[in-house]
Amino acid sequence: MQKRKLGQSSLEVSALGLGCMGMSYSYGPPKDKQEMISLIRAAVERGVTFFDTAEAYGPYFNEELVGEALAPFRGKVAIATKFGWKIDPKAERGLAGLDSRPEHIKEVAEASLKRLRVDAIDLFYQHRVDPDVSIEDVAGAVKDLIQQGKVKHFGLSEAAAQTIRRAHSVQPVSAVQSEYSLWWRRPEADVLPALEELGIGFVPYSPLGKGFLTGKIGEDSKFDSADFRSMLPRFAPRALKANQALIRLLDRIAERKQATPAQIALAWLLAQKPWIVPIPGTTQLSRLEENIGAISVELSPGDLREINDAASKIAVQGARYPEKLEQMSYR
Give the active site residues. 57
One-letter amino acid at 211 equals: G
Q: How far apart are CA 175 and CA 81, in angstroms?
A: 12
Which residues contact residue 326 at a Cβ distance below 8 angstroms, ignoring those fewer than 6 apart? 319, 320
Classify each residue of 242-270 as buried b or exposed e, where b means 16 or more C-beta atoms within 10 Å of its C-beta: bbbebbebbeebbeebebbbbbbbbbbbb
Q: Using the 8-state DSSP alphabet, how is residue 279 labeled?
A: -
Quick check: 64 and 70 in contact, CB under 8 A?
Answer: no
- CA contacts within 13 A on the Cβ side of 197: 10
Half-sphere exposure of 56 (CA within 13 A, CB side): 21
Gap between the Cα atoms of 189 and 199, Å rounded: 17
Walk across the sheet containing 154-157 and list its strands: 18-19, 50-52, 78-83, 123-126, 154-157, 173-179, 201-205
